[in-house]
Amino acid sequence: MSSVIETPAFHYGAIKQRQQAVWASGDYATLGTTLQIVGETLAEAADVRAGEAVLDVAAGNGNATLAAARRNAAVTSTDYVQSLLDKGRARAEAEALPVQFQLADAEALPFGDACFDVVMSTFGVMFTPDHRSAAAEMLRVLRPGGRIAMANWTPGGFIGRVFKAIGARSSPPAGVQSPLLWGTEPHVVELLGAQAAKIRCERRSFNFRYRSAAHWLQVFRDWYGPMKQAFAALDAAGAASLEREITELLDELNVAGPDSLVVPAEYLEIVVTKS
């Protein structure tokens, strides 16, 4: 009898199907538009120029897409949730911005090698289950000398702490790395460094601005798929516990005083120049 113990292979396809359902269960566009300033800041950090071919990966409702298109780049916007692409298309059409939209998996991009000058992602690629495949695909479609620009929540920032609170009450699929690793410099270097001529990582902050902690929590429970599903999976006591922990976190980090809510959320801005 063989003593070898076989470990089942990861089924990333099934995991991605579940992720698609989670993101589609809410309406990320409702709160995603509040993050537009991150797309604008990232486009400036990447020095997006008129006429450049830009790919927005896991674009959501198109914050980086619109930022690049406003700078007269030739933009292709991709996501694996059609409803989010539709929201991005409506935004582009409202501004008469000529953007191409295409349903696509960040881990298997349907484009040729070295056909983009800039590849961007704001809080999107970080949620892919197979980090190495996503990184390899971004590098593959990027021409030599081109730039990868990303905005990723950090583990120690506000959103990172929210995800840790959620994760403490649910088990992620075995073998899947935390999306928050994308918010750490060593992980970025590990994934992208081998083909990088230059890597710049800078910690930035986005301010969530809401009427109160209760208002923030209600918006995210209603419209942010991962949080909506996290609460739905808990019993009444578990949901109350999670609500209490997030409310306490919001109150702790609120810099606006008792009459409003302004919570700074740290993210890592990454610009990688391909060798």
pLDDT tens for each residue of 165-224:
999 998 777 778 999 999 999 999 999 999 999 999 999 999 999 999 999 999 999 999
26 secondary structure, DSSP code: S
Q: Is residue 36 part of a domain?
A: yes
Count of CB atoms situated within 10 Å of the CB of 12: 18
Of 1-5, 52-56, 179-183, 242-246, the one with minimum mean pLDDT is 1-5
Note the pLDDT tens digit of each residue in 208-233.
999 999 999 999 999 998 999 999 99
3-state secondary structure at position 95: coil
191 CB-side CA count, 13 A: 25
Q: Which parts of 109-241 are beta strand (E)?
A: 116-122, 142-153, 196-210
Q: Is residue 114 part of a domain?
A: yes
Q: Is residue 118 part of a domain?
A: yes
170 CB-side CA count, 13 A: 21
Specify the pTM: 0.92
Q: Is residue 239 part of a domain?
A: no
Q: Is residue 126 part of a domain?
A: yes
3-state secondary structure at position 53: strand
172 CB-side CA count, 13 A: 20
CATH number of the structural domain spanning residue 128: 3.40.50.150
Q: Is residue 40 part of a domain?
A: yes
| Angstrom distance (rounded) from CA 142 to CA 148 | 8
Nearest to 77 by CA among 143, 42, 69: 69
Which residues touch 164 (CB under 8 Å, ≥6 apart)?
Answer: 155
Q: The domain containing residue 101 runs over which residues?
A: 13-207+265-274
Per the structure, the count of domains in the chain is 1
Q: Is residue 217 part of a domain?
A: no
